[in-house]
């Protein structure tokens, strides 16, 4: 049984920053995450994509943001259970919580902070019968390391920002032979990105096929060819090294949805007027996993929620202690360590 002061479900940026704020109050933290490494979406889905709305960083790569957060929390020595999903939560008679993972690991704490982002992500897959045969054998649903696609012949399907961003990047930066396929003539993306793709197609830097869809896949153990069909009925066979069907990811709360928490539209309702507590005393939800009037799903907002939440957690853990706010500019970080 792993024991701690605050058990954090989710090791994304908000979960990691919670460790820092808790450390300033001399509270120990343990984090559980289904991914094999800390960082959540920033590490798993888009580590090489820039983020522009982190204070004091005009631009920072998502992966670098995680590296910086990990360095920031080093003095407080958090512990992790990675590659395991939190499945059940039980409450003891003395108000403690025991969280058990899918691999049987058990964790005990008086406070649970759910910082699971948007939940467990599964890719939206097109309805092609043999698509699973080529997953990781020529089909990728997310781009972790763009360099692995350098100089390849790549087909990208989709009409959102992610599809257009990678189309532009692959063609400009990775010397890829890119074909973009979209089932409509209208896009769900920033107008400047759409215009850039149009301009690149006109100049021959990439191939753009609208009113078209990938309908079939061919290959022997590895994807060799995609079959593209237009709305007019034309059929084209395109040789490929990689096909990226970028139709988005579907988030689900997973087992957390069965923890007796109040759920609204796939998110956990919290009281933002106080401290982001859920309807279960001692359980909080912060970051993209929660919802309340005026909620904004931004990393910045999650950092704020974590800061307020740990103040409440301190009062629950130490009801007879007074917490006097101390500034890091006065004490430094190491002044808060045990």
Final residue before a domain boundary, out of 191, 220, 247:
247
pLDDT, one tens digit per residue, over 109-160 is: 999 999 987 766 678 899 999 999 999 999 999 887 889 999 999 999 999 9
**Extended beta strands in 124-185, E state:** 153-157, 177-181
Same domain, 19 and 117: yes
Q: Measured between alpha carbons, how far is 239 from 226 in angstroms, rounded to an integer?
A: 7
Q: What is the pLDDT of residues 35-51, one digit of tens each?
A: 888 998 888 777 778 89
257-312 pLDDT tens trace:
899 999 998 899 999 999 999 999 999 999 999 999 999 999 999 999 999 999 99
pLDDT for the residue numbered 41: 80
Rounded Cα distance between 213 and 221, Å, is 23
Is 257 found in the same domain as 240?
A: no
Phi then psi for residue 97, to 5 deg, are -115, 140
Binding-site positions for FAD read 33, 41, 46, 86, 121, 288, 329
Same domain, 137 and 95: no
Whether 262 and 284 share a structural domain: yes
Domain containing residue 25: 2-121+250-336
**Widest CA span in the chain:** 75
- 112 with 181, same domain: the answer is no
222: Cβ–Cβ under 8 A, 6 or more apart, which residues? 134, 137, 138
Pair 258, 241 in one domain = no
What residues does 229 pair with on adjacent strands? 213, 235
Beta strand 249-252 with 120-123 is antiparallel
Structural domain tally of the chain? 2
Query: Which residues contact residue 311 at a Cβ distance below 8 angstroms, ignoring those fewer than 6 apart?
Result: 25, 275, 323
pLDDT at 337: 58
Strand partners, 153: 177
CA separation for the pair 7, 14 (Å, rounded): 13
- Which residues are documented as binding site? 33, 41, 46, 86, 121, 288, 329
CA distance 243 to 153: 9
CB 116 within 8 A of CB 10: yes
From 247, 270, 305, give the residue that closes a domain. Answer: 247
Judge if 228 and 285 occupy the same domain. Answer: no
């Amino acid at each position: 049984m792993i024991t701690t002061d605050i058990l954090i479900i989710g090791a994304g940026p908000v979960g990691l920053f919670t460790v820092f704020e808790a450390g300033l109050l001399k509270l120990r933290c343990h984090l559980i995450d289904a991914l094999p490494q800390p960082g959540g979406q920033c590490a798993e889905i888009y580590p090489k994509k820039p983020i522009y709305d982190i204070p004091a960083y005009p631009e920072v790569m998502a992966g670098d943001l995680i590296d910086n957060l990990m360095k920031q929390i080093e003095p407080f020595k958090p512990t992790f259970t990675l590659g395991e999903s939190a499945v059940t939560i039980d409450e003891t008679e003395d108000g403690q919580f025991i969280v058990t993972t899918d691999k049987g690991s058990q964790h005990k704490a008086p406070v649970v902070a759910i910082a699971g982002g948007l939940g467990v992500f599964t890719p939206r897959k097109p309805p092609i019968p043999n698509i699973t045969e080529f997953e990781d054998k020529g089909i990728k649903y997310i781009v972790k390391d763009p360099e692995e696609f350098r100089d390849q012949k790549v087909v990208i399907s989709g009409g959102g920002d992610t599809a257009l961003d990678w189309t532009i990047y692959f063609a400009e930066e990775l010397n890829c032979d890119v074909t973009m396929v979209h089932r409509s003539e209208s896009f769900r993306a920033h107008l400047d990105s759409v215009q850039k793709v149009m301009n690149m197609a006109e100049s021959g830097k990439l191939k753009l096929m609208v009113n078209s869809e990938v309908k079939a896949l061919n290959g022997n153990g590895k994807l060799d060819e995609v079959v593209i069909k237009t709305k007019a009925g034309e059929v084209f066979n395109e040789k490929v090294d990689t096909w990226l069907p970028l139709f988005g990811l579907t988030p689900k709360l997973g087992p957390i949805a069965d923890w007796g928490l109040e759920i609204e539209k796939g998110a956990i309702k919290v009281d933002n007027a106080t401290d982001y507590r859920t309807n279960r005393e001692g359980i909080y939800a912060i970051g993209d996993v929660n919802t309340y009037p005026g909620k904004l799903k931004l990393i910045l907002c999650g950092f704020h929620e974590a800061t307020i939440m740990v103040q409440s957690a301190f009062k629950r853990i130490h009801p007879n202690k007074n917490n006097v706010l101390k500034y890091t500019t006065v004490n430094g970080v190491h002044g808060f360590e045990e």
